[in-house]
Amino acid sequence: MIANHVKALLHKNGCHWNTGGSVGNSSGFGGSAAITYSFMDGRPAGFDPDQFQDFADFSATQASWIEHAMDHYEEIANITFAEVASGGDIDWGYAQTFYDWDGDGVIESHEVAGGLATRPYSNGSIIVIDRDSTNFSQGSWGYLVLMHELGHAAAGFNDVTIGLNFSETYTTSQEYWNQGIDGQVLSVSEDSRKYTAMSYNNHPDMPGVHPNTLLLYDIAALQTLYGANTSTRAGNTTYSWATNETFLETIWDGGGTDTISASNQTRDAVINLNPGTFSSIGSYAGRDATDNLAIAFNVTIENAYGGSGNDRVFGNAVGNEIRGGAGNDRLFGQDGNDRLFGEDGNDRLFGQDGNDFLYGQDGNDFLYGQDGDDFLYGHDDTDRLSGEDGNDRLYGQEGNDFLYGGNGDDFLYGQEGNDFLYGGNGDDRQSGGKGDDRLYGENGNDFLYGENGNDSLYGGKGDDRLYGKDGNDSLYGWQGNDRLYGENGNDSLYGENGNDSLYGGKGSDVLIGGAGADTLVGFGSSSSQFDTLTGGAGTDTFVLGDLGSVFYLGSGHARITDFTSGSLAIEDTIQIRGVLNDYTLNQSVNYGGAAALDTAIFLGSDLIGVVEDTTAIALTADYFTTV
């Protein structure tokens, strides 16, 4: 199906060249064409002397730019041009040109034409360029005229402005002959040299700038007629421009791994890698350029590099490498498995669909993985990383960072700095790294590792495992049946709801079971540690020994603050190693807590535990379990 914007450019009869100088119609689109051309020697017979005056020869430089324009057409489509001495399919001339714009049958001196051309005909076509155009170099008015008139003669393109805007003074005949296939015309918003060199209207945001290339709709229409030339720039190509250059272009690229680079630009750039879209690179009249670069339909550009401005860069459906450069940039991977690099500045990176790699680098950056299984690296400064959907891996690196896992089974690693880690939904693994970190498991069965520093770990919902590691840490199981390991340092462990297991490890720790049937193991390996064990509501087990050893031999001991006994519904127990006869109880001393006497537990002369504020304990199986 032919798009409407292509129909608007093509002549309603579909006239175009075939190989061998014959003319085809709309039933033969898509074939290649070999076209000959020649240069006129004076005024050809039959030319109206009022319409064509003062013929002259092109200079060698002008002729070379004419050939450049034809080469450009060859780059776009399967069309070739070969020079012949005379009588070519297209005959080029150079004269003062006029046109009866008002249709009154009289050509007047003010009715100047920049150039005139006829469409493909069996007896040949002509192009006559007005002699007021002397500079034909790329980007000049003269080069635009070459591309425009060649559009008529080589492809049968319409003057799209005639036939569109019926408020202007064009004759019925002019409008009729410049309507496209099925009577299609361009909309008012499309009728400009933003979209096509066949328009008489300036680019709306960059008036007075002439294109270096055929434009978005021109390329689509030419390739509809003759097919796309996929050998053009089929290797790895980098597209770049002079710093803050003013230009209009459309990229046609046949393949390879390609890059649009604005790395040398100092103004804010917008780069969109999607085919059929516009980018804004360079400058215009002292401000940022606007929609001055298009990517042709059916073109894939893989990579984009921003400059030192505050850039916005959008990827496409394939895997892109996008670099922001300096400045505060916004990078969007869109579809595909992308790699986004914020580089310098405070950047925002959005992976969007696909399994993406996001690197914030220097500056305070926001990284959003979004859909897919993504890798996010904050790097320097204070960054915010959000994995969102998928099983993501987040690395804060240097700085005080905020990491949000979102949905999925995620891995969060704070690394340097005092970081905040939030697992979100799913079964997550979190590691604080260096610094005083806060880790929140939230929903799911999570593993949280504080590592270095004085960390706070919160399991949230689910059956979680919390490891304080080094430093004086605070661990909170919250809901679920959790396992909390203080490890090194003087730690505080809070099981809260659920049937939890609390292991203080080395250091003098505080263990509070909370609601549920909890197991509290304060001891690590030190003979001088003093742990405080509080069971809370529920039937709890206080562990003073295991199969390997008796705990607290030496100067340390455990304080049990809320031992409950004598209730059939709730009754705590104390676990010791060996047999009951190895131990003795002393119930005549107050070691701390309230004024009531305490029960001291001895192995020989070594105090290993104190049950505060109660003597209602006997050295029997009702109160003790042995291993």
Q: Mean pLDDT, to the nearest integer, of 318-336? A: 97
Position of tokens 């979209």? 195
Q: Which residue spans within 245-350 are E strands per DSSP?
A: 249-251, 259-261, 270-272, 278-279, 283-284, 287-288, 293-295, 303-305, 312-314, 321-323, 330-332, 339-341, 348-350
Closest CA to 512 of 545, 476, 470, 461: 476
**Whether 610 contacts 557, CB under 8 Å:** yes
Give dist(CA 331, CA 320) in Å, integer: 11
Model pLDDT, residue 105: 80
For residue 620, give Cα distances in angstroms to 220, 348, 581, 588, 605.
92, 65, 10, 19, 20
Output DSSP code: residue 20: T
Model pLDDT, residue 411: 97
Q: Which of the four pLDDT bands, split at 50, 70 and 90, describes residue 168?
A: very low
Model pLDDT, residue 166: 42
Q: What percent of the chain has pLDDT over 90?
A: 83
Give dist(CA 609, CA 432) in Å, integer: 34
Model pLDDT, residue 24: 65
Q: What is the pLDDT of residues 369-394, one digit of tens each?
A: 999 999 999 988 899 999 999 999 99
Alpha helices in 134-200 (DSSP H): 141-155, 172-177
**Whether 582 contacts 606, CB under 8 Å:** no
Model pLDDT, residue 161: 80
Amino acid making up residue 602: F
Q: Is the confidence at residue 170, as pLDDT, over 60?
A: no
Q: Is the confidence at residue 343, as pLDDT, over 80?
A: yes
Q: Is the confidence at residue 26, as pLDDT, over 70?
A: no
pTM of this prediction? 0.90
Closest CA to 36 of 52, 18, 24: 18
Give dist(CA 63, CA 199) in Å, integer: 24
> Max Cα separation, the chain?
133
Q: Is the confidence at residue 178, as pLDDT, over 90?
A: no
Terminal C-alpha separation, the chain = 82
Alpha helices in 25-111 (DSSP H): 60-76
State whether CATH 3.40.390.10 applies to domain 4-223. Answer: yes
Q: Is the confidence at residue 165, as pLDDT, over 50?
A: no
**Whether 222 contacts 155, CB under 8 Å:** yes
Q: What is the pLDDT of residues 211-264, one digit of tens each?
A: 999 999 999 999 999 999 999 999 999 999 999 999 999 999 999 999 999 999
Q: Which residue spans within 338-390 are E strands per DSSP?
A: 339-341, 348-350, 357-359, 366-368, 375-377, 384-386
Give dist(CA 16, CA 10) in Å, integer: 9
Q: What is the pLDDT of residues 106-115, one digit of tens each?
A: 888 888 888 9
Q: Mean pLDDT, to the nearest integer, of 168-178? A: 60
Model pLDDT, residue 277: 99
Q: Which of the four pLDDT bands, split at 50, 70 and 90, describes residue 568?
A: low
- The mean predicted confidence, pLDDT, of the chain is 93
Give dist(CA 101, CA 114) in Å, integer: 12
Give dist(CA 103, CA 172) in Å, integer: 9
Which segment of 160-169, 321-330, 341-350, 601-610 scores lowest on mean pLDDT? 160-169
Closest CA to 393 of 416, 371, 369, 415: 369
Residues 283-314 as b or e (16 or more Cβ within 10 Å = b): bbeeebbebbbbbbbebbbbbbbbbbbbbbbb
Closest CA to 483 of 468, 469, 508, 503: 503
Burial class (CB in 10 A: 0-12, 13-18, 19+), 144: buried
Q: Is the confidence at residue 270, as pLDDT, over 90?
A: yes
Which residue(s) pair with 439 in the sheet?
A: 421, 457
DSSP, residue by residue, 216-254: HHHHHHHHHHH-B-TTTT-S--EE--STT----EEE---
Closest CA to 7 of 129, 115, 157: 157
